[in-house]
Amino acid sequence: MSWVAAGSIGGAVIGGIFQNNAADKAAKSSKQAMDAAIAQQNLNYNRTATNLNPYISAGNSALTQMGALNGGDYSSFKQSPDYQFSLGQGLQALDRSAAARGSLYSGGHSADVLNYATGLADQNYNSYYGKLQQLAGMGQGAAANLGSIGANQAGQIGGYLQNNALGQTSAGYEQANANSNLVGQIGQGIGQLLGRYGSQNTSSYGGGNSSLSPSTTYTGPGSLATGWPGMNGGGWTP
């Protein structure tokens, strides 16, 4: 066996193993980097969502109250702190004024209370509704921002997945090439071994190496100038 050919086969095997391992490590590193990037993106999104969700919830609540007001349900307005405080302060002032005049609980006093409450409602309603609109707009803006962040995150994660897929494909090609080269080099080394073995074991009866030939001269009984020993045309020569 040729040590050179054997060394060539051994080197091809070791080289192929190293190349396969390198491609496998590259594929694993690509996936680990992708997983870490996606995890960080999800963490950032969750933090942003946590910060924006209170504004979104307030906006949703404001929209619900606006819908009720537009449907004729004014309970939220009448129970609002601003209206209740203004109404209470105004009624106390009217009561004190009527008491001072001695007309408390009179028809005139009742009319004054009704007129005050109606005017206060008309005056504060638009302000109350405007505040609800502001809250709803704030919630809408927060929801839009969160949606934009989510869309950007989805695009970035898609890019990570695509890059990882390309990396995995490249690693697969490298492994396939390594295996192909390994098989080719082993086959070449085996071919060299077989060629050397065949050249060293060629039969001595072929290739013009025979010890007898038609030109051999026989010096025993009888003689031949040419031909096989002891024969001349198929018989011995006396």
pLDDT tens digits along 150-202: 888 888 888 888 777 776 776 665 666 666 666 666 666 666 666 666 665 55
pLDDT of residue 192: 62
b or e along 136-170 (b: 16 or more beta carbons within 10 Å of the residue's beta carbon)? Answer: beebbebbeebeebeeebeeebeebeeebeebbee
pLDDT of residue 223: 45
* pLDDT of residue 128 exceeding 60: yes
Find, among 119, 116, 120, the residue nearest to 94 by Cα.
Answer: 116
Q: Two tokens at 154?
A: 């989805």
Q: pLDDT band at residue 236, thresholds of 50, 70 and 90? A: very low
Amino acid occupying residue 109: H
- What are 60-95's pLDDT values in tens digits? 999 999 999 999 999 999 999 989 988 999 888 888
* Residues facing residue 235 across a β-bridge: 232
